[in-house]
Structures are given as structure tokens and as C-alpha cells.
Copies of this chain bind each other. A is one copy, B any other.
């Protein structure tokens, strides 16, 4: 039974960006859904000793080794020779009669006699057998070393994928009960990775056939859950775990799998029939762009202002020059005035306003780079209210603006779901 695998991709061109190596990711994916865990992906150049060393190391720790590339006819195609060095050292490679016929057929289908150099493609270590390749001259190789199954496949993705699906996969002894591997993600924003991990506690500890990892990308904390087992038990298990993660990460958890924060906010607005307008300074339209990213945004998003200059803050949003002079553009008073102006000028029920210092200019002791004010305006029958929060975000221009826009969306999500107003958001100053 095959449970663990390693994948070795061979070729100088795969080391740098000349060609992105996608074969091994595809193969790891294929193996994972068959409950075979890939322990390692490795890329080596066209170096016979390096390939042989990798084969020796990788066959030691797992049940299956998949190789791609290095099976062509040129002098830098060295996979066959390296396999021979490991599996049948001190013995020459054998010429395979089936492979000779295959090459001959390809030559005749092509334009005339087979070049001599192609004959190397009929060579194999004595203890291995050839694998059919209807799409190219490079046949594959199958064998075994110290109890580890080895399959060598050509590098071109079309040929490799077909050979894997049609020939390699059927030859692999897999668990007959066919357990499945299910994956799911839970996303949260506004809490730190460390806090997120602490909240999960023992839930994150690896268990039999069950793993939970935390990753952070663009300040979004994601729990990736992976469960292995038989249906429907595995399905119930992953449901239970993701629900538990979602619960422990409240009120910061906002969505699952492909859901974005702006989609979730959009759904909440659509359900409540609310409309939204934005007023941005430091984020310069990024918040608006995030909101419009969600299909159907025109149902609730009326539009917004990018008031980068003070003059436009006054002219377009009615922020009084006196407030700008007294408090400065980056202040609670101004962000509240912007949110109020956006409500008044758009007629929306909700408004989000952002002002801040993204650097590199504008740094000061009182308002260092990263200082951001976020205002939320809510229209109410009785008149309405505007609240602001102050943040200090780390990082460069792009990071500060990205954090600011997402934090504004989370602020609105909190308001739409009646989250306690005292709930802190990461970066709050």
C-alpha cells in the first residue's frame, strides 16, 4: 500500500524562471486525493550525479518516487543513466525491443529515418520496464529500489499527465477502501496569527488523518483544514472542525473557502437592503475597488469619493476648512466629516471613510507613518451617527493601504452583524 511519496523534477530550465515547474504540484494534488501524502518536491538540474544522489535519498524515506523530465534524446537527458547508476550499478543499460519499435513507429509517422541519437531513448536499467507514451518518443520507466516504487515520466505536461493517469496510477497499489481527502478553509481578519493560533488551542494539534494549518496572506488569517477518511464520516468531521474554527475566531472569522470579505459584506448589505458610499484619502480608491470586485456590487454600492487633496475634501464632501486647519487631514474630526459628507452627498445608509499616512512622506511624531483613521457613518431614522477608530499599521505604503481598506470593510461587517463595539481590531492604536 502506497502512503507516502516524493516527486523529483529534472531539468536545468526548471531551476530558474525560464520555465515554471508545474508538474510536481499537479502530481502532488493527484496523489493527495488518493490519500498518498507527498513528503517532498525536489528540482535538480541536468547533472547525472545530482540526479542519482536525489534518487538514493528520496527512495529511502517513502513508498513512491515519481520522476519527471530528462528522458529526451539529447546529451543533457540523464534520467535513464542516473536510474541505472542507482538500480543497476556496474551494469550497462539494456536496449528495450518494444521501445525500439515505438521509436521506429514515431520516425515513420514523422519525416523519414530516425536520428541515431534517438536510440538512447530505448535504453533502460535492466531491472526496469518501459511505460507507453502515445504522445511522444520518450517512453516512461517503472521499477523499484529498496521497496520504493519508481516511475519516471517525460517532462512535457501533456505527455506526463496522460502517462500518469493511464499507466502509472493503475499500477499503484492504493487503499481499496478508497478513503477521500477533503480540504476546507476558514478566513478571519483583524486578529493576529498568534492570537488566532491561541484561540484554536488543541484544535490545531495534528490528529490521526486530520490536520489544521494556519497561513497569513495580505493580513488575512486562514485555517486550512485537511481531513482524510471514508465518506460520510470525513464530511461530517470537516464540517465539525471548520464550524469550530469559525466559532473560536468570532467575531473576526468572515468566510470560508473562496469567500472574500467584500463578498460577505455585500451579501449582508443585499440582505438588509442597505446601501453604501465611500470616502477615501490615503487608500486612494482601493476600498472602492475591493467593494466593486464582488459581482453584483451595483445593488448596494452607490459610489465614492477619492479626496486626495484637502481642497477636494472641502469641495466634494463639505469638510470645513476650519476642521482641516485645526486637526489636520489625518484626524478623527476629518474622517468623521468625510463619513458624514459621504452619507449626505450620496443618500446611502452606510458610509466608510479613510484618512491616514502611508509614507514615505507625511511622517511626524504625533502621526507617524502607518497612522490611519477609519470612520463609519450610519444613517438612522433619528438622524444618524458617525464613529471613528484610530489605527497604526506596520509595513510599507502598499501594506498600510491594503490593511486600511480591509479593516474598513471589517468595521462595517461588525456593524452589520451587531458585534460589540468594544471588540478590538488588530493595529488599533
> Taking beta carbons and an 8 Å cutoff, which residues of A are in contact with B?
11-21, 25-26, 28-29, 32, 38-47, 50, 53-54, 57, 61, 72-76, 106, 109-112, 114-118, 134-136, 156, 158, 183, 192-195, 197-198, 204-205, 211, 213-217, 224, 277-278, 280, 283-289, 291-293, 295-298, 301-309, 311-312, 315-316, 345-347, 360-361, 370, 392-399, 401, 424-429
Contact = CB atoms under 8 A, between A and B. Distances in A.
Given A217-B156, A284-B297, A306-B288, A195 B20 contact: no
A370 B110 CA distance: 11
A36 to B, nearest CB: 11
Report the copy number of this chain in the oligomer. 2
Nearest to A211: B12
| Closest 6 pairs (CB-CB, A-B) | A285-B288, A284-B292, A285-B285, A303-B312, A115-B194, A303-B308
Contacts of A401: 292
Contacts of A428: 110-111
Given A311-B346, A316-B345, 14 more contacts: A75-B205, A106-B394, A109-B392, A110-B192, A111-B424, A115-B198, A285-B291, A295-B361, A295-B397, A298-B361, A302-B312, A303-B308, A303-B316, A305-B316
Contacts of A284: 288-289, 291-293, 297, 301
Contacts of A217: 19, 156
A326 B215 CA distance: 51
A54 B74 CA distance: 31
Given A197-B73, A216-B72, A16 B28 contact: yes
A19 B218 CA distance: 13
A198 B75 CA distance: 10
